């Protein structure tokens, strides 16, 4: 499959043959598994204290003549603690037992639980190749909600990696027909749920993914553009190409990045 190379002025600079990795069959099931495997590794362990709800004395004697016993009071035999007393009459409340008010949780989350999901290396590489092919499919990209120009898919010329200014990157994206896509990523939406209290108050649409060959000035120049992500081609993974397990993210590959994929035979 041949794709046009566009320069900074949105003019055709030639054509390039895509590496064989982009011709992988579309496998949304594998892509989903690869993304979930990545997300599970980043999940933080959480759980309750093993001694939570069991730190107080709540043993009640069932013997007939034992002081502070509950024998003969006609109450259920659950663990209780004493809040106050008048003589031999005790004021008990339920404790320790899971079925009582104020008791511990019966099956609390445990910090030692392993959330990590496994995926085979060959399956993961196949998922990345499939997501790479989906990122250049017009139908999948538009169905994901991206605003793409008529010339998409295209490859960025090698000179893009030498851009220094953020304003220059923004103006070039507008020339390439990605202004609507950048405006789409500007909108911030308040997250629903408790995540607002955990440092994740706003949600933003994912914009273009720019894939570069390695360390370059474009990384710093484009990192402040909302929704735009810059990634080295060797660090490419399924989650970047398919955020939220949905394939078809708009991806802009530089000419040097494609050369790296074909020369080093990445993701094979």
pLDDT band at 75 (very low <50, low <70, confident <90, very high): confident
Q: What digits encode the pLDDT tens for the residues 140-157?
A: 999 999 999 999 999 999
Average pLDDT over residues 91-97: 89
Residues 186 and 85 reside in one and the same domain: no
pLDDT band at 137 (very low <50, low <70, confident <90, very high): very high
Residues 69 and 141 reside in one and the same domain: no
Q: For position 63, what pLDDT does the model report?
A: 86
Residues 80 and 205 reside in one and the same domain: no
Q: Residue 57 pLDDT > 90, yes or no?
A: no
Residues 60 and 16 reside in one and the same domain: no
Average pLDDT over residues 196-203: 92
Q: What digits encode the pLDDT tens for the residues 116-134?
A: 999 999 999 999 999 999 9
Q: For position 119, what pLDDT does the model report?
A: 96
Whether 112 maps to a domain, the answer reads no
pLDDT band at 21 (very low <50, low <70, confident <90, very high): very high
Q: For position 20, what pLDDT does the model report?
A: 93
Long-range contacts of 75-79 (CB under 8 A, 24+ apart): 79/103
Residues 94 and 152 reside in one and the same domain: no
Give me the domain span that covers residue 67.
56-107
Q: Residue 239 pLDDT > 90, yes or no?
A: yes
Residues 93 and 149 reside in one and the same domain: no
Q: Which residues of 91-113 are buried (b: 16+ CB within 10 A; e: fewer)?
A: ebebbbbeebeebbeeeeeeeee
Name the average pLDDT for the chain. Answer: 92
Q: Residue 88 pLDDT > 90, yes or no?
A: no
Q: Residue 66 pLDDT > 90, yes or no?
A: no
Domain count, the chain: 2
Q: For position 68, what pLDDT does the model report?
A: 82
For 49, how many CA atoms within 13 A lie in the half-sphere containing its CB? 6
pLDDT band at 18 (very low <50, low <70, confident <90, very high): very high
Q: Is residue 53 within 8 Å of 103, Cβ to Cβ? A: yes
> Which of 46-55, 71-80, 236-245 shows the highest mean pLDDT?
236-245
Residues 33 and 63 reside in one and the same domain: no
CATH number, residue 168: 3.40.1370.10
> Which of 53-67, 74-88, 246-260 shows the highest mean pLDDT?
246-260
Percent of the chain with pLDDT over 90: 73
Residues 72 and 186 reside in one and the same domain: no
Q: Residue 71 pLDDT > 90, yes or no?
A: no
Whether 224 maps to a domain, the answer reads yes
Residues 185 and 213 reside in one and the same domain: yes
């Amino acid at each position: 499959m041949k794709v046009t190379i566009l320069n900074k002025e949105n003019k055709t600079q030639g054509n390039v043959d895509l590496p064989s990795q982009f011709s992988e069959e579309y496998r949304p099931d594998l892509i989903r598994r690869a993304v979930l495997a990545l997300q599970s590794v980043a999940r933080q362990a959480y759980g309750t204290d093993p001694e939570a709800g069991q730190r107080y004395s709540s043993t009640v004697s069932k013997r007939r003549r034992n002081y502070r016993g509950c024998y003969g009071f006609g109450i259920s035999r659950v663990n209780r603690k004493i809040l106050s007393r008048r003589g031999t009459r005790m004021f008990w409340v339920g404790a320790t037992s899971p079925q009582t008010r104020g008791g511990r949780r019966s099956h609390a989350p445990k910090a030692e639980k392993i959330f990590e999901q496994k995926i085979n290396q060959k399956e993961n590489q196949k998922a990345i190749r499939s997501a790479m092919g989906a990122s250049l499919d017009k139908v999948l990209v538009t169905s994901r909600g991206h605003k793409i120009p008529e010339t998409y898919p295209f490859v960025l010329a090698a000179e893009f990696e030498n851009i220094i200014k953020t304003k220059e990157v923004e103006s070039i994206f507008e020339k390439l027909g990605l202004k609507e896509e950048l405006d789409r990523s500007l909108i911030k939406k308040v997250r629903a749920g408790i995540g607002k209290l955990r440092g994740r108050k706003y949600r933003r649409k994912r914009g273009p993914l720019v894939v570069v060959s390695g360390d370059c000035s474009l990384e710093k120049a484009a990192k402040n553009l909302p929704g735009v992500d810059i990634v080295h081609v060797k660090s490419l993974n399924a989650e970047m190409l398919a955020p939220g397990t949905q394939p078809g993210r708009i991806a802009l590959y530089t000419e040097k990045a494609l050369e790296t994929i074909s020369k080093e035979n990445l993701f094979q």
